[in-house]
């Protein structure tokens, strides 16, 4: 992969594609992890005396419509606070200049060419600067004008430091032969995680399931799951996966009549009632032991509806158990990282990916187009 450290950026202008799609409420950034993640690249570029213009998307605005709800202004302000300098935000590409060390272009998805990978837009973007640096791991599974398109169109393009770290951490997780390897896949829907479960089954000794995904497995195994979230169309896939004998299911779960209810009870997986929903699981001593002896742990997806206190214990206990383990531990996924932030110090894990969809696709063994364009070998 072409790397920033091997690219001449001394006194050069740089267009830096980053993923600053962070949660924002009332003009305030709620979680700045993705902003902090690009600081090493920015600091290096500053040391190289290069002038940088940042390019990012933010949310899903209607293409071609400038909607202030999706402005990057709060993000530019937060970055400015972190770096203790003002970050000018250009509302259009025509305004771009390199008067300041670091500046930012308004949400790239305001432009109609971004999602359709328009070649003219790709050329315009990479021609803004001497070098096109791609550091947006979270969008590397997309072929958009500012990702795959601009990387290919640029005379000089390379990966930033975040991308290097991410790919190193993810490749270590998929390629290293450590045993026992325990993977955990939770979250709401098995259909969105089927491919990742299949590929994790191959590289893991066991895969612990959680969340709505567990419900489908329990039903496939013949358990009554009441009115729990379940995908009947996935039952045959679940049966096939159960046949590998690598799928770990809970013995005890937390059930309730409703997700918003305060009333809940713990029961064995054999005694869920018809009008109950499984909303969390109990981390058994056996699973806790497996976590503590694992050499490698890959985690995506919460074990329950952790956003509600009554159904957060499974995910919280899991996070704490992983934090205590000496294993090489990798986590990824939007809600997974939110849970990690809520329950533990994320530095207790070996690596937390900044990617959601990109993380899953990498784990599925897919080739991510923007990484391939940078010469990354999967
Ligand atoms: P990630 O973003 O980490 O990949 P997902 O998006 O797949 O995770 O799933 C996260 C969501 O799954 C959470 O919002 C959580 O409330 C929900 N969830 C977890 N367990 C259950 C369950 N038993 N029933 C319904 N929803 C669940
Ligand atoms: Mg999610």
pLDDT digits (tens, 9 = 90+) for 158-195: 999 999 999 999 999 999 888 999 999 999 988 999 99
Residue 274's Cα: distance from chain center in Å?
35
pLDDT by residue (tens digit) across 209-233? 999 999 999 999 999 999 999 999 9
**Residue whose token pair is 């070996």:** 350
Quick one: pLDDT at residue 153?
A: 98
Q: Which of 125, 132, 153 is closest to 7 using CA atoms?
A: 132
pLDDT by residue (tens digit) across 21-60? 999 999 999 999 999 999 999 999 999 999 999 999 999 9
Interval 112-125 mean pLDDT: 98
Q: Is the pLDDT of residue 205 over 90?
A: yes
pLDDT by residue (tens digit) across 287-312? 999 999 999 999 999 999 999 999 99
Pairing between β-strand 51-55 and β-strand 24-25 as defined by DSSP bridges: unpaired
CA–CA distance, 74 with 43 (Å, rounded to integer)? 21
Q: How far apart are the first and last CA of the chain?
A: 10
Quick one: pLDDT at residue 262?
A: 83
Q: Is 332 in the pocket of ligand 1 (CB under 6 A)?
A: no
Question: Alpha carbon of 60 to those of 30, 76, 110, 114, 334: distances in Å?
Answer: 18, 18, 9, 12, 16
Interval 125-141 mean pLDDT: 98
Long-range residue pairs from 259-268, CB within 8 A, at least 24 positions apart, any chain = 259/305, 259/308, 259/311, 260/308, 261/310, 262/310, 264/310, 264/311
| Mutation test residue for ligand 1: of 212, 314, 352, the one with most atoms within 8 Å of CB | 212
Q: Name which residue sits closest to atom 10 of ligand 1, judged by CA.
A: 187
Tell which phi-psi region holds residue 135, choosing left (phi > 0), alpha (psi between -120 and 50) or beta: alpha
Quick one: pLDDT at residue 177?
A: 87
Ligand 2 centroid from CA 77, angstroms: 26
Q: Is 279 in the pocket of ligand 1 (CB under 6 A)?
A: yes
Ligand 1: nearest atom to the Cα of 278: 23
Question: Alpha carbon of 277 to those of 267, 274, 283, 310: distances in Å?
Answer: 11, 8, 18, 13
CA–CA distance, 3 with 335 (Å, rounded to integer)? 30
Residue 243: CB partners within 8 Å, gap ≥ 6? none
């Amino acid at each position: 992969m072409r790397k920033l450290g091997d690219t001449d950026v001394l006194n050069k202008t740089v267009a830096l594609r980053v993923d600053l799609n962070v949660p924002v409420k009332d003009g305030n950034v709620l979680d700045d992890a993705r902003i902090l993640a690009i600081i090493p690249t920015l600091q290096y570029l500053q040391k190289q005396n290069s002038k940088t213009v940042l390019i990012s998307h933010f949310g899903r605005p209607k293409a071609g419509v400038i909607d202030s709800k999706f402005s990057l202004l709060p993000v530019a302000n937060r970055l400015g606070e972190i770096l203790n300098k003002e970050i000018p935000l250009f509302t259009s590409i025509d305004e771009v200049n390199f008067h300041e060390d670091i500046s930012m272009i308004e949400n790239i998805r305001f432009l109609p060419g971004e999602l359709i990978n328009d070649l003219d837009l790709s050329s315009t973007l990479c021609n803004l600067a001497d070098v096109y640096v791609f550091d947006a791991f979270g969008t590397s599974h997309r072929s958009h004008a500012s990702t795959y398109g601009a990387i290919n169109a640029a005379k000089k393009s390379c990966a930033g430091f975040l991308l290097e770290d991410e790919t190193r951490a993810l490749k270590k997780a998929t390629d290293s032969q450590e045993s026992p390897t325990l993977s955990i896949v939770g979250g709401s829907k098995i259909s969105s995680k089927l491919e990742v479960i299949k590929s994790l089954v191959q590289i893991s000794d066991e895969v612990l399931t959680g969340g709505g995904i567990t419900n489908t497995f329990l039903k496939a195994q013949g358990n009554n799951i009441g009115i729990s979230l379940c995908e009947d169309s996935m039952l045959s896939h679940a049966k096939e996966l159960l046949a590998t004998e690598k799928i770990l299911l809970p013995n005890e779960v937390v059930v309730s009549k409703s997700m918003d209810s305060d009333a809940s009870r713990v029961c064995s997986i054999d005694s869920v009632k018809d009008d109950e929903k499984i909303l969390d699981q109990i981390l058994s001593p056996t699973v806790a032991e497996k976590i503590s002896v694992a050499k490698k742990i890959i985690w995506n997806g919460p074990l329950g509806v952790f956003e509600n206190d009554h159904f957060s214990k499974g995910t919280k206990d899991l996070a704490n158990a992983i934090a205590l383990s000496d294993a090489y531990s990798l986590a990824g996924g939007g809600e997974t990282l939110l849970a990690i932030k809520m329950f533990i110090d994320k530095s207790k894990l070996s690596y937390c990916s900044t990617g959601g969809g990109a993380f899953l696709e990498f784990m599925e063994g897919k080739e991510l187009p923007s990484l391939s364009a940078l010469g990354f070998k999967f």
